[in-house]
A and B are shown apart, each in its own frame.
Chain A
Amino acid sequence: MTTENRFDLPQGTLDLLIMRIVALGPIHGYAIAQRIQQMSREALQVQQGSLYPALHRLEYKKLLSSNWQPSETGREAKFYELTVKGRAHLKTETENWKRLTEVVGLILKGTLEGLS
């Protein structure tokens, strides 16, 4: 395992990433972790200790729903899906995120004059 290029996620970001992954279709916890790892080109590795509490929290908030289905290996796994509420939430949160990174990026680049 390469550990040098791993870093901690800012608070709240994990929820957003999970919802983004789940938005692609029903998926179980292990696959979510793997998908995040792959999509971030191994830069993000989500710990089980953060992933599952986050999933349960999102489910409790009714942003995700879940059901038990056979996985690709044939074993039963808990598959998560976005709810309608979750989809709306993802949309606003994604927009928020984009604006936030844009603004933060601008400030960090020092081209603040360009804004006004």
Chain B
Amino acid sequence: MSWLRRLFARRRMEIDLDKELRFHFESQVADKVRSGVTRREARRLTRLEFGGIDQIKEECRTSRGTLWLESIVQDVHYGLRQIMRSPGLSIVAILSLALGIGANTAIFTVIDDLLLKQLPVHNPKMLVSFGDGSDAGIMASSSPGPYDIFPYDFYRRISGNQKALDGICAFASFTNQVSVRAGSGAQGPATQAISHLVSGSFFSVLGVQPLMGRVLTAEDTAVEGANPVVVISYHYWQENLSADSNVIGRVLTINNTSFMIVGVTPPSFYGVTLSEVTPDLWLPITMQPQVMMRPSLMKLGGLFWIDIMARRKPNVSVAEAQSWATVEFQRFLTEREGAQISGRRQKQISGTFIPLLPGGAGLSDVRQTYQVPLMVLMTMVGVVLLIACANLANLLLAKAASREREFCARLALGSSRGRIVRQILIEALMLALVGGTLGLAVAFWSTRAIIHFIDGGAAYTAFSATPDARVLLFTLAICVVTAILFGIAPGIRGSRTDMSGVLTASARTAGGGAARSHRILPKALIVTQVTLSVVLLTLAGLLLRTLQNLRGKDIGMDRSHVLLVNTNPKFAGYQPERLNALYDRILNRIDALPGVRSASLAGSPPLQYGTWGSPIDLDGRPTPPNENISTLLNRVSTGYFETLGIPLLRGRTIQSLDSANAPKAAVVNQTFADRYFPNRDAIGHTFTIADPEAPGVWHIVGIVRDSKHRDPAEKPEAFAYLATTQLSGEDQYAYWLQVRTDGDPSQLTGEVRGALAEIDPNLPILKTQTIEEQFNGLIDQHAFISELAAVFAALALALACIGLYGVMTYNVVRRMSEFGVRMALGASKGMLIRLVLKESFYLLAIGVLLGIPASLAASQAIRAGLYGVNPTDPLTLAAATLVISACLLFGAYMPARRAAGIDPIAALRYE
């Protein structure tokens, strides 16, 4: 470690070096004196022979090999002094960087969290998912193409097979909200929890060890309904069970069935789904009838409702495993069909396949929703950072120019040009690191805000705003890249200082002819900033208009003054036969509340993509097999269309005459009527539903307007509304209450809660929200991208303004004496202002001219995310141009006024 010692002994070595050279010098002088030269002459001659003593010293230091380190320490000291010397400039630089780096880190943290994060399980890279998990719910269909949702018996068929995969697990494609009571009785207050039905192999395939107790095992799901055990999450244990250390063996009553707690998962585990809400309870999949309080989904040839994940074998390729799974699946489907199977059906089956996808990151609908917006935003913040870099380059360039004399002196004293470049780079790096540190703070706060937006303020979520090592590394990397980006130009400029002229010339001439070529760079940077700002502003404008269009979109119903209440009569122990009486009581009671216009019940709420859909047959005719006659379904009570303000076009709505024993009545939407009964009146016709849970012949009694379900921009789909009272069993449950109010619907939440409690105190209120909130949920990702884009565009604009202001101010200061002369010769203030503004105006004009085609190109790239606005929308482009022009001219006006305000005498003396 001698170099380290030498580094600290630097002072000692400097003294030695000096002493050594001085000794040589003195000896040489002494020799000359001895040979008869006068002392004075000897010294002069020796000095001539010696040459530059500092150059010799510098070369000695270089040859010592520790110079790089010593001088970096020196440069850091020096850089610090430089930063302190002009605190205003440094603060602007650091703040610009903090915002630029902060924005990048924030978006990257979210990307890291949402798109890159692996599940907190053992070796997540070896996990594969059967399909992408984008389908969730309970489905009946099977068509050719990729599959990501399966029947339970398919899992049973392959679960024991270890040929291609090391272990296979299954879990419900959805989570269930359940009512939980502590202890085994049905008394006591119930709380709500999120449960997930999983196979016994779930934890072993993922490689998750329990924190306490045990996890589920294969025995727990061997027999249907035989293992009422539950594994709870660490979070649930902490929050709801007071972190009881004797929790193992305690009993929870979940949806009226007693389950014994057998284990607690580690704190980091959040299941296999990265989502807004994470499960509190993991239950054996074989307990599905008890947990969901509905008939078994596990019967042979059952419905499609589970997701499958597996662990790869190291020696089996993904392609091999995939073809194995596909062959098994096709065999399964064929055998399920039974003996006679048509050639067409066989062909359909051979068209199915199972894509085996990397499962290490888990499944996530949130990821699918936000992936593209996040990528667009990441690009935008990258551009913002470029603008910030250009600013800093400009500020440092201006500083480098004013340090010309200093650089010149250093070069003359033996400094190398590389050393000057490095010194400026180190200064830039120091600014970047300080800015980056502040940026981390900015990022931390903004990431929290972004995550709050995505998870809708959920109390507990798998998303985390805390930057991990990858984020910190990312930030460090952008600091370094930034420093190089904005330090390289000033560095090269500083090192190019022409030694001959500058030292002797005055500052005035130094700023003149020789340096003119250097001044092109700052201007080019300003033009680039303007161009990039125009692009960002245009994109933000287009996205904001998209949001505005979606918000203003007619969705086929009156979306104001409606309160939506989610309840579940099952939790209060209601059997289907008692439901109609309950519904009557609820509707009568709510209707009678003051301030309520009407109320209705439905299976699923408006503006939510229903998971209920089925093929249908029209007028008792079997549908030709190549025709896709499927329709979305909902079950509704009387008053549904009136409450939501969905206009009736023909016929009648569901009425109280549609009682349980009356002919079954259905209202269809316009798309249904037009598609299935073109040129005919649909009213009076009938249809039957393939889903065995909605049996009977349904009579079309009315046609209503199309309304939106998933997205304000969607194409309408065929939809049929069935009378709740005429359904039976599972399909008779209505979970959502709609209340139309006179005033602000949220004001009535208390009254509605009270009324429901009066009817039955056990009836749980799972959720209340206004229809406006429900609607906003649909356009969340649009709001997310457009609002953040607007923030980033504003940031870009502010940075560009600061940049222009800085450069123009610098130019004005440089030309003080010139302005003084002009004023002395009779120029008016107005003329000087125009003179300065003209220069800014040219830069602005060039920037905007370049920005227009750049914006057009960029907006083509996001065209898929736009709605109701053309990517080449001239109005948006014009507005963006106007905004940037106004802001930049304002930024340029202040230095112009400063130029006009100078005192000519003072300016001429200025030097």
- Could you tell me which A residues sit within 8 Å of B by CB distance? 28-30, 33, 47-49, 52-57, 59-60, 68, 71, 73, 75-78
Contacts and interface: CB of A to CB of B under 8 A. Distances in A.
B24 A29 contact: yes
Given A53-B59, A76-B19, 5 more contacts: A30-B24, A47-B51, A53-B62, A60-B65, A73-B27
B63 A57 contact: yes
B55 interface: yes
Contacts of A76: 19, 23
A53 B63 contact: yes
The 6 closest A-B pairs by CB, nearest first: A57-B63, A53-B59, A30-B27, A53-B63, A56-B60, A30-B24
B413 interface: no
A38 B49 CA distance: 18
B910 interface: no
Nearest to A45: B49
Contact of B60 (A30, A52, A68, A77): A52
Contacts of B56: 48-49, 52-53
Nearest to A72: B27
Contacts of B26: 75
Interface of B: 16, 19-21, 23-24, 26-28, 30, 49-52, 55-56, 59-65
Contacts of A30: 23-24, 27-28
Nearest to B61: A56
A75 B20 CA distance: 11
A115 to B, nearest CB: 39
A75 B27 CA distance: 10
A36 to B, nearest CB: 14
A89 B62 CA distance: 22
B59 A78 contact: no
16 contacts: A30-B27, A48-B21, A48-B50, A49-B55, A49-B56, A52-B24, A53-B59, A53-B60, A53-B63, A56-B60, A57-B63, A60-B63, A60-B64, A76-B23, A77-B23, A78-B19
Contacts of A75: 23, 26
Contacts of A52: 20-21, 24, 56, 59-60
A63 B61 CA distance: 17
Contacts of B61: 56
B64 A49 contact: no
B20 A29 contact: yes
Nearest to B45: A1
A29 B21 CA distance: 9
Contacts of B20: 29, 52, 77-78
A87 to B, nearest CB: 20
Nearest to A75: B23
B481 to A, nearest CB: 34
A41 to B, nearest CB: 18
Contacts of B30: 73
A28 B21 CA distance: 11
Contacts of A73: 27, 30
A109 B701 CA distance: 120
Contacts of B24: 29-30, 33, 48, 52
A54 B23 contact: no
A90 B336 CA distance: 90
Nearest to A49: B56
A63 B15 CA distance: 22
Nearest to B16: A78
Nearest to B23: A77
Given A48-B51, A78-B16, A71 B63 contact: no
Contacts of A77: 20, 23
Contacts of B60: 52-53, 55-56
Contacts of A71: 23, 27
Given A29-B20, A76-B19, A78-B16, A54 B63 contact: yes
Contacts of A28: 23
A30 B49 CA distance: 13
Contacts of A53: 56, 59-60, 62-63
A77 B60 CA distance: 17
A47 B59 CA distance: 13
A55 B61 CA distance: 11
A56 B27 contact: no
A13 B196 CA distance: 81
Contacts of A68: 16
A60 B20 CA distance: 16
B63 A78 contact: no
A49 B23 contact: no
A60 B68 CA distance: 14
Contacts of A47: 51
A54 B50 CA distance: 16
A9 B266 CA distance: 74
Nearest to B55: A49
Contact of A56 (B49, B51, B63): B63
B51 to A, nearest CB: 6
Contacts of B64: 56-57, 59-60
Nearest to A78: B20
Nearest to A62: B2
Q: Which of A33, A48, A71, A75 has the most chain B CB within a 10 Å cutoff? A: A48
Contacts of A54: 63
A56 B60 CA distance: 6
Contact of A49 (B27, B28, B51, B65): B51
A78 B401 CA distance: 43
A56 B61 CA distance: 8
A53 B65 CA distance: 11
A75 B23 CA distance: 8
B903 to A, nearest CB: 52
Contacts of B65: 60
B51 A78 contact: no
Contacts of A29: 20, 23-24
A40 to B, nearest CB: 17
A19 B28 CA distance: 22
B413 to A, nearest CB: 15
A72 to B, nearest CB: 10
A100 to B, nearest CB: 24
A28 B19 CA distance: 12
A17 B55 CA distance: 23
Nearest to B20: A78
A69 B198 CA distance: 85
Contacts of B16: 68, 78
A48 B61 CA distance: 14
Contacts of A56: 60-61, 63-64
Contacts of A78: 16, 19-20, 23
Nearest to B66: A60
A78 B61 CA distance: 16
A56 B59 CA distance: 9
Contacts of B23: 28-30, 71, 75-78
B290 to A, nearest CB: 81
Contacts of B52: 49
Contacts of A59: 64
A21 B50 CA distance: 22
A53 B27 CA distance: 19
A54 B24 CA distance: 15
A48 B46 CA distance: 11
B63 A49 contact: no
B31 to A, nearest CB: 8
A84 to B, nearest CB: 17
Contacts of B21: 48, 52
A71 to B, nearest CB: 7
Q: Which of B55, B60, B62 has the most chain A CB within a 10 Å cutoff? A: B60
B56 to A, nearest CB: 5
Contact of B59 (A33, A49, A60): A49
A85 to B, nearest CB: 14
Contacts of A49: 51-52, 55-56, 59
A71 B24 CA distance: 11
A56 B24 CA distance: 15
A96 to B, nearest CB: 22
Nearest to B58: A53
A68 B20 CA distance: 10
